Structure 1
Amino acid sequence: MIILVFLWVYLATNNYSTVDGRITSISRDHEDLELERQLKLINKPPLKTIQEDGYIVDCIDINKQPAFDNPLLKNHKIQLKPSFEVTNTNSTRLSSIGFEEDLCPKGTIPIRRTTKDDLIRAKQLSYINVGILNKDIPGRHYAGLNLNIDDKRRYFAISGIINTYNLPVRHPDQITSAYIYLSNGGSVHDKNVIMAGWEVHPKVFGDGKTYFFTRWADKSRNKGCTNFFCPGFVQVEPSFHIGTPVVDTSTYNGKQFEMMVDISHDPKTNNWWVRLNNKNLGYYPGILFSNLAFANLGGWTGMTSTPAGIPSPPMGSGHFPDNNIYRSCFFRTMNFQTDTRTNIGPKNHKYAVASSDSPKCFGVQYEGWNEDMQGYVMLFGDLVEIVVDNI
């Protein structure tokens, strides 16, 4: 699993370069030696080491975490908690995602140690980071509920409870995911975005399990990444290491599990906070972005991606929405914030619009307010056995 693959190190060493989002090596003969040297730079000296199931977690001084290797954050002062009031959301079906009290000593944060295999897999990626934002890539499909751009509102927060599934993928470059996002920018070439949710992506995470992910990008600078792929995300939560799989996932027509995710702008610091299951994981400093003082787009989305010539993986629960939350993957308790900084639900088309780029194959069904769930609900997914190949 790739968690701490710092692509900036490749550039700094002059032994690697990026071309159209691909990493190329100029010296295969010295690759092993170079990988070992990079690992020493990437993996910070731990104050405590924890042996997990098949990998190692290091407790790193919070002030020496990977984010501060980014030149933009050289003099950054850590914000330990949001300045705004946080409202917790209740759920009795939370997935086990890896929170462990007293995981690391006070003043440290847990980070999964990067291995040589992680670095090798990183070089094999067909993109670094921002390419995942392109909606016009063949083989990529979306179904979800998007905030209405016509009213020209400014958005400062988005949240939702996401039904979690573990769906099979046939190829390491395939992706199936569900996430919330906020973005700004006039075109795909200058888009700034933050997203968070769950994802099955073997090329990134090393296996076919479901993982929580958070991602940022500034396409005008060609910067951004997933999790700790590059320096940017500042973690403050000591009881959770990004890179542990989601243990509990839902079963079609059976037991359901979910995760609570939200992204919120801090008006005092301009940092963008990411929360998971009522915990403040950390934030993206506002200085990372060229154009994200506020968002003009956002939504709750299901997405799949597949290479050319390979049928798409399933989306959501792997089934078309059919008004049944036990059979259709869902978002619930969906809210967003505008200038008023108060939660607003996507009540109707004035606020948000449901859409799918291939509605015959990937469905979306906006339920509106659901009394049983005490919130706004959207179902999404694809038809079983439907082959959608690069359309």
Structure 2
Amino acid sequence: MKIIVFLCLYLATNNCYAVDGRITNISRDYEDLDLERHQELVNKPPLKTIQANGYIVDCIDINKQPAFDNPLLKNHKIQLKPSFEDTRTNSTIFSSIGFEDDLCPKGTVPIRKTTKEDLIRAKQLSNMNVGILDKDIPGRHYAGVNLINVDDNRRYFAISGIIDVYNLPVKNADQITSAYIYLQNGGVNDKNVIMAGWEVHPKVFGDGKTYFFIRWADKTKSKGCTNLICPGFVQVEPGYVLGKPVAYTSTYNGKQFELLVEIAHDRNTNNWWVRLNNRNLGYYPGILFSNLAFGKLGGWTGMTSTTPGSPSPPMGSGRFPDNNLYRSCYFRKMKFQTDTLRNVGPTNYEDAVASTDNPNCFGVQFNGYNDDIQGYSMLFGGPGGICGK
């Protein structure tokens, strides 16, 4: 009897039970059940299904996409295009992301089907959503050009740039290397931010490939995430899948591939549009944010992250900038919009300041305007390594 009582107590305290002589973990079973239910909720009934390279794409009714699972968007009316005039930037090498005009039928948007593995990674990331707003995180490093508010009255409504795209190695799932543009507002406790660019981030994407990403966060509400991990971003582009790896990346001292990325505020609707390679990808509804009617800060930056005390992964092309666009990762055609002007470059050093938090690991070069091809441009990157902090 003592043995039976002990066994029952052991099984109870370890969330287990015995069935037909087999020991089963109750917590694990419930966790699997929750994952399956969560999958059913996030994977909407598709009107068309496409088998991609290692994943499945569902064509979802644009009015039933995951964004509308957010209670704030219950009665949201979709804005199919921005009310401001689209700007166009010509380039012959916007081929690292492929748009397919016939990917999904009219009235639908392509959504990558969510797997259990995706949900498990998302759960692991849930505590990191707001952490992306904290720059002083041990193991995290930056090199880039930041717009600063010199008189506290400057307001930024759009930012854009052409980003050179690389695929650099990271040693484990906890490491990140990326390059992106961002706009931010708020103080220490209520920072709001939108980011867009490319990233190697195995904990989010499940592998070491380079992905285009978008990200938002509101520290006041403790909300935010990457791509469609949580509901919020409203996609209108029918020919591009968020969560699709970048097809081609640049080669050191060889062929270069780029992304043209823009974040722009629509003053008529208060929505924040994300544009990719001259296409309107979609927008973040203004209601998601507690304090982002405009940006007080912004910039073009490279970032790496690793666990504290371990060597940092490389940034950019993995080399220090050396005034050569074939060897150094870069941003070109750097532009921003203030209250009265749209798509104007950083015309003086009061607006744009170059900085790196660890010059031994990463460098940055910013000389303002170069020529019609480069516009305002910045080179950045480095090998990483033992960077401290």
Q: Same fold (TM over 0.5)?
A: yes
Shift of 1:309: 3.0
Find the counterpart in structure 1 of residue 74 from structure 2.
Answer: 74
Shift of 1:126: 7.2
Question: Partners in 2 of 1:114 and 1:389 — Cα distance?
Answer: 36
Shift of 1:344: 1.3
Report the AA paired with residue 45 of structure 1. Answer: P
The aligned runs of 1:96-135 (5 Å cut-off) are 96-125=96-125, 127-135=127-135
The aligned runs of 1:333-348 (5 Å cut-off) are 333-348=333-348
**Structure 1 length as normaliser, TM-score?**
0.90
Find the counterpart in structure 2 of residue 58 from structure 1.
Answer: 58
The aligned runs of 1:253-272 (5 Å cut-off) are 253-272=253-272
Find the counterpart in structure 2 of residue 199 from structure 1.
Answer: 199
Distance 1:388 1:133, change over 3 A: farther
CA offset digits 1:111-135 (Å, max 9, x no partner) = 0000111122223337341212211
Report the AA paired with residue 386 of structure 2. Answer: V
Question: Partners in 1 of 2:76 and 2:92 — Cα distance?
Answer: 38
Find the counterpart in structure 1 of residue 386 from structure 2.
Answer: 388
CA offset digits 1:227-266 (Å, max 9, x no partner) = 0010000000001111111011001111111000000000
Question: Partners in 2 of 1:117 and 1:268 — Cα distance?
Answer: 39
* Paired residues of 1:98 and 1:241 also in contact (CA < 8 A): no
Question: Partners in 2 of 1:149 and 1:178 — Cα distance?
Answer: 22
1:171 matches 2:172: yes
Report the AA paired with residue 363 of structure 1. Answer: G
- Runs (4+) off by over 6 Å: none
Find the counterpart in structure 2 of residue 20 from structure 1.
Answer: none
The answer to which of 153-162 and 336-345 deviates more is 336-345
Find the counterpart in structure 2 of residue 185 from structure 1.
Answer: 186
Question: Partners in 1 of 2:278 and 2:161 — Cα distance?
Answer: 11
Q: Which runs of 5+ in 2 are unaligned?
A: 1-25
Shift of 1:29: 3.4
Q: Secondary structure at the match of 2:310?
A: coil
* Paired residues of 1:158 and 1:181 also in contact (CA < 8 A): yes
Report the AA paired with residue 163 of structure 1. Answer: D
1:160 matches 2:179: no
Report the AA paired with residue 388 of structure 1. Answer: I
Q: Which runs of 5+ in 1 are unaligned?
A: 1-25
* Paired residues of 2:163 and 2:258 also in contact (CA < 8 A): yes
Distance 1:380 1:106, change over 3 A: same
The answer to which of 73-82 and 365-374 deviates more is 365-374
The answer to which of 170-179 and 142-151 deviates more is 142-151
* Paired residues of 2:348 and 2:368 also in contact (CA < 8 A): yes
Shift of 1:390: 4.3
**Structure 2 length as normaliser, TM-score?**
0.91
| Count of paired positions | 364
Find the counterpart in structure 2 of residue 16 from structure 1.
Answer: none
Find the counterpart in structure 2 of residue 245 from structure 1.
Answer: 245
Report the AA paired with residue 149 of structure 1. Answer: N
Find the counterpart in structure 2 of residue 23 from structure 1.
Answer: none
Q: Secondary structure at the match of 1:124?
A: helix
Find the counterpart in structure 1 of residue 22 from structure 2.
Answer: none
CA offset digits 1:80-118 (Å, max 9, x no partner) = 000000111011111331311111111100000001111
Report the AA paired with residue 175 of structure 1. Answer: I
The answer to which of 114-123 and 217-226 deviates more is 114-123
Shift of 1:77: 0.3
Q: Secondary structure at the match of 2:37?
A: helix
CA offset digits 1:180-207 (Å, max 9, x no partner) = 00010022x2100001000000010000
Question: Partners in 2 of 1:242 and 1:374 — Cα distance?
Answer: 28
Q: Secondary structure at the match of 1:127?
A: helix
Shift of 1:374: 4.4
Question: Partners in 2 of 1:206 and 1:119 — Cα distance?
Answer: 11
